Chain A
Amino acid sequence: MRCWDPRIEEMPVSELKRLQFKLLKTLIYRVYSFSTFYHTRMKEAGVHPDDINSLEDITKLPFMHKKDLRDTYPDGMIMSEQEELVRYHVSSGTTGKSTVVGYTKNDIYHWQESLARALTSAGLGRGDVIQVSYGYGLFTGGLGLHYGAERIGATVLPTSVGNTERQIELMQDLKVTAIACTPSYLLHIGEVAEKMGVSIKDDTILRKAIVGAEPWSEQMRIRIKESLGVDAYDIYGTSELSGPLFCECEFQQGFHVWSDLIYPEILDPETQEPLPPGERGELVVTMLQKEGLPIIRYRTGDVTALREEPCPCGRTHPRLERLSGRVDDMLIVRGINVFPSQIEHALLGIPEVAEHFMIELDRKGALDEMLVKVELAKEAFSDKISDLMRTRRHVEKVLKSALNVQVSVELTEPGTLPRFEGKAKRVIDRRRI
């Protein structure tokens, strides 16, 4: 099947915009009338629903942050009465207090519809056997994918996480064609399978993977294809927005965001000014039809760019590019936003250096100086100084074109830069501003 819901997925852009405005206007009236949280915030900001007369007027509304959800724990921001809610999900409190999301029947319906469209766009449907290896329970990944996959008529194998050997046995026995899991778990499955003497490529019919919930890269996509013979599709969503919602279509150039469900803005994280399509900034989300927990101008902290040009798949909804880091990691060097993840991506394409790096920032006079330390790969070592200088200049050139800012590179000996487990601290900022 080409589209799950062709009427909406192929709707002309102008009609979609009209629909979005209608939904936005309704939403703002509703939260102003029924949500204590949003009513108070709008009063404080001096905005009335009557002030919202175009989609662009959304910028008059105040932002909402993850902190607001924590501060109103457990249910201060939930607008529906408890008896209207059919489910709760709770996000883990690793960086602070937990946050609770309540879903009405309609919320669950829209969540499933969003994923049904997304999974169909990735080429899945009736006849597929989809192994859901995301955690089931309070986390939205497992149950989200589960109901999305059931809706398109696929056969769901709800393995959840863990017991990898059994997962691999079941994958073979029940002829699984697609898996939904984190990219690192997918590679782990490949390694465990190898130890069991099972080749995912030759001994299973697994061909597609819907992967997300953690950062990954194009290089990982290639590695997954080469080692497992599996096409990996990026998926995006967070519990505040419902859960996993959008995944890439078969063209794999960003994920379609359904305009009837979401209004995305890309803002400069410093100035909060809107950025034009194609430029990377912070994703700020308004969920147009959510009832239980309304989400208006939510600062996701995720960095991406919006692409409005038509997709070859024929869907008229815009796409978001693969996430390239978190706003908290952003550096401003000579007025330009730089994300450490951009450096990581660029280095992966240069065989002369390893993937480890450190960034050091200094200020000389009025100008920022950015130094990137990289490890020289063993194979790239030449006895000739001129070869080494050429390697260094090459890395500088690649980084400059990736970041749009002047970079000095220092070559270091292999194994000398710090290795990180968990959150990496790759920046030393010595600027006194």
Chain B
Amino acid sequence: MTNKMVGVASLMGMVTALWAVFVYAPNEATMGVVQRIFYFHVSAGMMGYFAFFVVFVSGIAFLVNRDLKWDRVARCSAEIGVLFVTVNIAMGILWAKPIWGIWWTWDARLTLQLLLWILFISYLMLGAYIADPLKRASLQAVFGILAFIDVPINYMAIRWWRTQHPSPVIAGGTDSGLDPDMYIAFMITLAAFMLLYAYLLGHRLAVERTREDVEYFEQLVHSQ
């Protein structure tokens, strides 16, 4: 399956998700129509975590195999992860204003998400300031691993500190759970986001490969 087909599938998924979120899913009892932001907010957050997990795993794979292919996957995935977490935080801010009455609060989950965002922007910045590709790949892989390990410790520290964000409704405690129709709408949205991630990653990798080829030929021309 070519990446173009994944792109078309993700577009179709997004259109279906929009229908499921705005037409199919029922209105939430207390929050009303605002709650519909939930489907995109949570899906983007989940895919952000997944993208950073890919950074972590590809970082280890690079250090073990010394294959620059893994470094490329890690960097591209980090960029997409930052994008998804940005969407997640931006939608969270929009949702918080009408429901909590404030744009932002230094609650556990919000702080954690912001730190995750900052950590992986640092990761991208680090890559931009090292010239030698092999050196850059190792150093970024190491920082990616350290940053990912930091997340659960951060989670503990911040959770003891304070919590306002609602606990997870999916796979949460005993009285958690979604209305079955909402659950279906959420699953459709999540699937659409997965396809979007796959498409963006495939596309970004292709761009990166082209860039590396251009760089290679440029050096070839200059050396003559």
Are the chains A and B members of one assembly?
no
> Taking beta carbons and an 8 Å cutoff, which residues of B are in contact with A?
none
> Taking beta carbons and an 8 Å cutoff, which residues of A are in contact with B?
none
